[in-house]
A and B are shown apart, each in its own frame.
Chain A
């Protein structure tokens, strides 16, 4: 109990005194996981839309594959990206291993199935006739997509939250492909691992609290947007 209490005190002290290391690590978590989530949205939303709307033979199989991807342990994604990016791997020449970019790629791989699945589900939940109806009412193709996205916003924002929440809190992939380098690729989760193994539990708890606070702030903003009346 004492360690938890000390951790709380230390967390507020670090935040209050504007601890440089804390803020740079938290900022890095935000940068890496924010980028990965944004890229996952760029790729995942159109794919999810297709899977939600279109009907083609392999669709169910693909949905099942996406669902499996949602449950993929981050450390497996990390291992795969590590093998691809490491110097002796097929993409070793790009020298991306142990960089923030490598972490973004791994987290992208983790977040994308979530975004696809949430998008597909939210699009499927719309009335099937809605696109036709919008067309009849004179909406163009882009306008139709736009209005559909608006109708599906609950699901789409849930996709952002699920994707971001998954990658900002994962540690295995970030550790494997980022290397947990001080001042470079150390993010909140890997910093917690380091401080724990160095028995600096106060700092570890402080990082954990900052991670939770950050996730809460972002999800809160998105939830406000999500719950706002559409019109």
Chain B
């Protein structure tokens, strides 16, 4: 019976394995789904923070890295328990509708405009941010995230603030995360808007330099919100609250400030729990 045994064995092993994979304990402290941005994820920050929380509380955290827009939508439908996002204007309607509660400022970093080191559009020489954007619009290529992420929303807002209509500019949209978009910009000799953390984390493999930075509107603020358990069935409100509290603890905040700071000579994120809350 040359055929039977391998086939049967395969089927049996598969059935057993999937049964084993389906086993779970009933008295575990719970699980939360944290929808977050690709920037916090690609920088590796959550890989550092989440295991500490899990170890201490026993609560498992499922980190789903999507754009801020998708994360908020997941929250709005009750498909996540907490969100760590960075687009205050986009967060506001979800706070107003009661989908998100107890929003708190966790940390900040800043957005920068990066581009080819030889800066063909002379963006670095521009006197201010709107002028730099205008220079890029007329003399350079720009690659956009195009994925409804916090960075994408920020980029669109910056064009509008500079008096330019993003729909009429020749921008290329990648529809991908920050890491992939930076790689594409680097390969194509294009400019892009990025959070500093992801740029620094990938700097070594990119042919991109920071050309525009420091404008007040380039501040990037990250808030943690808990999805309202009274509005959405099945939300693990208590556990999500515990995670939010964990992020704001002085010890965690210090960790955020130190994260990869030695490696890059500066911190990727600035802890902000003590700072006055804005937006959220």
**Which A residue's beta carbon lies closest to that of B20?**
A31
For A153, the chain B residues whose CB sits under 8 A away are 2-3
Q: Cβ of B15 and Cβ of A38 under 8 Å apart? A: yes
| Smallest CB separation, B13 vs chain A (Å) | 7
* Cβ 8 A contact of A225, one of B2, B31, B33, B179: B2
Flag whether B7 is at the interface (Cβ < 8 A): yes
Identify which of residues 48-98 in chain A touch chain B, using a CB-to-CB cut-off of 8 Å.
86-88, 92-93, 95, 97-98
User: Which applies to chain A's interface (DSSP): helix, strand, loop or mixed?
Assistant: helix
Query: C-beta contact mask, A37-52 vs B, less than 8 Å → 1, else 0?
Result: 1110110000000000
**Contact A38 B14, beta carbon cutoff 8 Å:** yes
Please measure, in the bound complex, the distance between the C-alpha atom of A44 and the C-alpha atom of B61, giving whole angstroms.
36
Q: Which of A98, A179, A199 contacts B183 (CB 8 A)?
A: A199
CB distance from B149 to the nearest CB of A (A): 13
Residues in A with CB closer than 8 Å to B204 are: 199
State the Cβ distance, A165 to closest chain B Cβ, in Å: 14
Chain A interface category by residue count: 35 or more
Q: Is the CB of B3 within 8 A of A38?
A: no
**CB contact between A149 and one of B3, B17, B77 (< 8 Å): that residue:** B3
A-B pair number, CB within 8 angstroms:
113
Per-residue CB contact flags for chain B residues 1-37 toward chain A (1 = under 8 Å, else 0) read 1111011001111110110011000000001010000
Contact with B along A160-183 (1 / 0, CB 8 A): 100000000000000000011110
Q: In the complex, which residue of chain A has the Cβ closest to the Cβ of B76? A: A88
B162 within 8 A of A: no
Q: B2 near A230 (CB under 8 angstroms)?
A: yes
Point out the residues of chain B lying under 8 angstroms from A228, CB to CB.
2
Give bound CA distance, A37 to B17, whole Å: 12
With known contacts A156-B7, A198-B202, A225-B6, A35–B179 Cβ distance under 8 A: no
A153-B2, A198-B202, A230-B2 as given contacts; A98 in contact with B33, CB under 8 Å: yes
Instruction: Tell yes or no: A141 within 8 A of B by CB.
Output: no
Given known pairs A101-B22, A104-B21, the reply for A197 and B234 (CB within 8 Å) is no
Q: How far is the CA of A35 from the CA of B205 in the complex (A)?
A: 38
Contact between A87 and B78 (Cβ–Cβ < 8 Å)? yes
Q: A179-B62, A199-B183, A225-B2 are in contact. Are A88 and B14 (CB under 8 A)?
A: no
- Interface residues in A173-201 by Cβ distance below 8 A to B read 179-182, 184, 196-199, 201
Contact B62 A160 (CB under 8 A): no
Query: A5 in the interface, Cβ–Cβ < 8 Å?
Result: no
B17 touches A197 (CB 8 A): no
Q: Given A87-B79, A199-B183, A34 and B17 touching (CB < 8 A)?
A: yes
User: A216 contacts which chain B residues (CB < 8 A)?
Assistant: none
The reply on A203 being an interface residue by CB < 8 A is: no
> A88 touches which one: B15, B78, B180, B205 (CB < 8 A)?
B78
Tell me how far the C-beta of A166 lies from the nearest C-beta in chain B, rounded to whole angstroms: 15
Cβ of B64 < 8 Å from any Cβ of A? Answer: yes
Residues of A with C-beta under 8 A to B14 = 34-39, 41-42
Query: Per-position contact with A for B138-167: 1 when CB-CB < 8 Å, else 0?
Result: 000000000000000000000000000000
Q: Is B126 at the interface (CB under 8 A from chain A)?
A: no
**B177 in contact (CB, < 8 A):** yes
Is A12's CB within 8 Å of the partner chain B?
A: no
Interface positions, chain B 57-83, Cβ under 8 Å from A, are 62-65, 77-79
Question: Nearest CB to that of A98 among chain B residues?
Answer: B62
**Inter-chain contacts of B78 with A (CB < 8 A):** 87-88
Asked whether A160 and B234 contact (CB < 8 A) given A101-B21, A228-B2, the answer is no
Complex A-B: 7 CB contacts under 8 Å: A38-B13, A92-B79, A95-B31, A156-B3, A197-B178, A198-B179, A199-B205
Nearest 8 pairs of A and B residues by beta carbon? A38-B14, A197-B179, A35-B18, A153-B3, A199-B205, A88-B77, A35-B14, A199-B202
